[in-house]
Amino acid sequence: MSQIQSFSRNNCALLAVLCGKYAENRTPAARSGLEAKRPRPAYPFPELSSAGRLEVHTLFNPTPEQFLEAQRVVQPNFLYIQGQQLEDEKEIGSLVWGDADVSDPQAFSTLISPPFPTIVYLEVPIGEKLAQAVHSKGIPYVIYWRNSFSSYAASHFRHALMSAIQSSVSHTWDAFQLAHASFRLYCVRNNHVQSVKLGPRLLGDAPKINISPPETEMVDEEGSSEVTPAIKIYDEEINMKLLLCGVPCTLDPCLLGSLEDGLNALLNIEIRGSKLQNRISASPPPLEAASLPRGMVTMRCDISTCSSSHVSLLVSGSAQTCFDDQVYIPLTLDTFLVLLCKVTWCSPVCAASREPHQE
């Protein structure tokens, strides 16, 4: 059974393949008649539905032919494969579509047809070999679980991952890091998972960013030359404040580490989606004016981030660099990314009259 719809290609198309005897009972359409009287699970598993940038297409227990046809029609950016939904809903089982076991790594990898998705998420236990077989086909990113896991842990990570993708044009690497930080914060810290090593893993390379701006040779009136950076950002003028809200609790390393990694991922998402909106001539900082080499210009640049936040930067550079969009914009954003996207510490503010407690 399938739910294939037509959507604009501007969004992220997700093809979700669910399997098991009870897989369809989780969809809103299935909750009718006698099925509506079934007791709801103890944990309210979020439904897979289209929202924001995410376009969800669902298959239930497909045949290999139906799976291949769905890929041809949808051409998904994101392929989500879930193991069997067992009746007790406590764990995710192996990969069985109807009566067919498709968990063999080589056999399953042949079912993924071009054009390949950017990301494949294998929500099946002990899925490392399966992930390696899929990744070897040239699929850039594959998420998998090395061990067995509970439905609760899988649901929390999946919901965090889907939320990151549907809310912004995020890189797969950043979306995974954000979801993994959320998983550590709630599942590992609250002992729903014994160790972070038992959590989801990612096969794929981190995005490469060039953080070494080229240098420009400036020649003064006496004929001597001086090599200077092509562009300089006056980062001492950049001041960003983050307000973190939460219940009073013990500030242990797991909490602070999860917050740090999650905030870094959020900032990366914000900056990778930035755009240069405007730039105008400006005066350099008073203490810098005398040291600027001849021929350097100073500009005020307005940048909008992925969520439409606005940041103003004061930069100096050669006229050629500052007015060349092909060079200037990547240099500005890459350097800005290095300046901002590293949270090194958190300053907690707690009510003095309340005792912190463990969640």
DSSP string for residues in 179-235: HHHHHIIIIITTTSSS-GGGSEEEESPPPP----PPEEEEE-TTS-EEEEESEEE-G
| Mean per-residue pLDDT, 216-238 | 59
Q: Would the pLDDT of 353 be above 50? A: no
Looking at residue 30, its pLDDT comes to 47
Distances from the Cα of 60 to the Cα of 22, 187, 189, 323, angstroms: 10, 28, 34, 54
- Does 104 reside within a domain? yes
Does 317 share its domain with 248? yes
How many Å apart are CA 18 and CA 20, to the nearest integer? 7
| Mean per-residue pLDDT, 283-307 | 81
- Tokens 């290999």 sit on residue: 64
**Bigger pLDDT: 228 or 97?**
97
DSSP one-letter string for 233-299: E-GGG-----------B---HHHHHHHHHHHHHHHHHHHHT-EEEEEEE-PPPHHHHTTSPTTEEEE
Which of 203, 233, 253 is the endpoint of a domain? 203
Looking at residue 230, its pLDDT comes to 66
Does 246 share its domain with 98? no
pTM above 0.95, yes or no: no
Does 34 share its domain with 181? yes
Least confident of 73-82, 156-165, 285-294: 285-294
> Kind of pairing, strands 54-60 and 12-19?
parallel
Average pLDDT over the chain, rounded to whole? 76
- Does 10 reside within a domain? yes
**Bigger pLDDT: 284 or 157?**
157
Residues 141-173: tens digit of each pLDDT: 999 999 888 888 888 899 999 999 988 888 899
Looking at residue 283, its pLDDT comes to 85
Looking at residue 109, its pLDDT comes to 94
* Domain that residue 31 falls in: 2-203
Does 60 share its domain with 125? yes
Which of 149, 176, 203 is the endpoint of a domain? 203
Does 118 share its domain with 240? no
Does 168 share its domain with 286? no
Least confident of 23-27, 121-125, 194-198, 263-267: 23-27
| Mean per-residue pLDDT, 227-232 | 64
Confidence band for 91, pLDDT divided at 50, 70 and 90: confident
- Does 356 reside within a domain? no
Does 234 share its domain with 333? yes
Distances from the Cα of 30 to the Cα of 4, 67, 140, 254, angstroms: 16, 21, 35, 39
- Does 209 reside within a domain? no
- Does 89 reside within a domain? yes
Identity of the residue numbered 345: W
Does 192 share its domain with 225? no
Looking at residue 359, its pLDDT comes to 35
Domain tally for the chain? Answer: 2
Does 143 share its domain with 10? yes
Which of 203, 234, 250 is the endpoint of a domain? 203
Does 179 share its domain with 245? no
